[in-house]
Amino acid sequence: MELVNETKLNQTARKDTFYTAEELDLIYKMRNGLEETVTHEEVMKNLKRVLKLDEN
């Protein structure tokens, strides 16, 4: 039976991730309500206003 040191175990057990540390931090904050977010509808409304698409 081979013994594996803790460092080696952590390196092999750690999952590679597509996200950077900053992105993971932001995802955590958003999921836990720690970061202010807006709905898709609000984003589209603001985009139309900025692009002046809502003018007649």
C-alpha gyration radius of the chain: 22
Read off the pLDDT band of 54 (50, 70, 90). confident
Q: Could you report the per-residue pLDDT of 23-40, keeping only the tens digit for each?
A: 999 999 999 999 998 999
Regarding pTM above 0.85, the answer is no
Structural contact between residues 27 and 19, judged by C-beta atoms closer than 8 angstroms: yes
Query: Across the chain, what does the average pLDDT equal?
Result: 81
Q: Which of 51, 31, 32, 48 is nearest to 40 (CA)?
A: 48
Scored b (16 or more CB within 10 A) or e, 4-19 reads eeeeeeeeeeeeeeee
Q: Domains of the chain: which residue ranges?
A: 17-56
